[in-house]
Structure 1
């Protein structure tokens, strides 16, 4: 299994231009769909469509992301998907962020961590308003030194949690 994750590539941070934002849903019953990938709905701050996180892991990440937003007003979401449906991960992450309205529209300050484990892809998408603090170099460093080592050990939860922690610490 380790060999499969050694090729987990295409990992640079990217910018997106969020559309006018909406509040992230707090309850699982509140869902939004993205335009190009209608099967991907926002379930909250953590939307685990690839089913790689346990309930308690999702809950812990959600609490961390809620506290981060309360402290900084920046929004960050984690999304996992079964498939990118043939799209490049950068485009998929941008479309997801735009459709979900991640970040405040007047600040462009959203962050999306997108994981597509079946295609061995991960992306940190960063709004224009956070590019100075979360540069491509910083995001690549988070991917290379924190997220990917855990993914190579088939430990998605710790990789994602470590990435979230590094980003929240940088912005706090």
Structure 2
């Protein structure tokens, strides 16, 4: 099963240092590069409180049940051996099989708080509605401003709600 994903990324930093990056073929990477999925909220970076995880889980599970579209939120402390969070998010979502294979209707929102990076990876079916431009705008206008205030949960929640509104 192959889930074709497109992605967009945002950054919480004002400037970005250009570095030479090496692309990684996910088929050659051991599965241990990615954490095991534990649900619709995968807070490996321990960004959310338990009540925040529960609230966000309910929102995303309800949306999945209502529409069969799957949004998964992942927080991590590192994207190593990757250097590009967009590629990391896309490969992680493909490895996990986010969304349904028939509709390619998955979306993975990946936050690496220590890296100060966030990315949205979308399936090709999702990309028909949630374009890279829309995802970038959501990151820049809904998520990053809250991050700059130190409120990661509100940023993610606002971003998810906006993505759901635009996807309907």
Normalising by the residue count of structure 1, what TM-score does the alignment of the two structures yield? 0.79
Aligned residue pair count: 144
Shift of 1:41: 1.9
- Report what 1:23 is aligned to: none
1:158 paired with 2:154, answer yes
2:13–2:116 Cα contact (<8 Å) kept: no
User: How many Å separate the matches in 2 of 1:159 and 1:90?
Assistant: 18
| Unaligned runs of at least 5 residues, structure 1 | 11-33
- Report what 1:69 is aligned to: 64
- Report what 1:50 is aligned to: 45
Q: Secondary structure at the match of 2:79?
A: coil
Q: Secondary structure at the match of 1:119?
A: coil
Kindly report structure 1 stretches of 4+ aligned residues shifted beyond 2 Å.
5-10
Residue by residue, what CA displacement relative to the aligned partner does 1:94-141 show, whole Å, maximum 9, x if unpaired?
121111110000111100000000000000111100112101111111
Shift of 1:169: 1.1
| Partner of residue 149 from structure 1, selected from 145, 152, 155 | 145
Map 1:1-20; keep pairs closer than 5 Å. 5-7=12-14
2:33–2:81 Cα contact (<8 Å) kept: no
Q: CA RMSD in A?
A: 1.8
Normalising by the residue count of structure 2, what TM-score does the alignment of the two structures yield? 0.80
Q: Secondary structure at the match of 2:147?
A: helix
User: How many Å separate the matches in 2 of 1:108 and 1:95?
Assistant: 14
2:78–2:115 Cα contact (<8 Å) kept: yes
User: How many Å separate the matches in 2 of 1:37 and 1:57?
Assistant: 26
- Report what 1:140 is aligned to: 136
| Partner of residue 119 from structure 2, selected from 118, 123, 131 | 123
| Unaligned runs of at least 5 residues, structure 2 | 1-11, 18-29
- Report what 2:31 is aligned to: 35
Q: Secondary structure at the match of 2:155?
A: helix
Change (3 A) 1:9 1:145: farther
1:107 paired with 2:103, answer yes
User: How many Å separate the matches in 2 of 1:59 and 1:73?
Assistant: 20
Shift of 1:71: 1.2
Shift of 1:86: 3.6
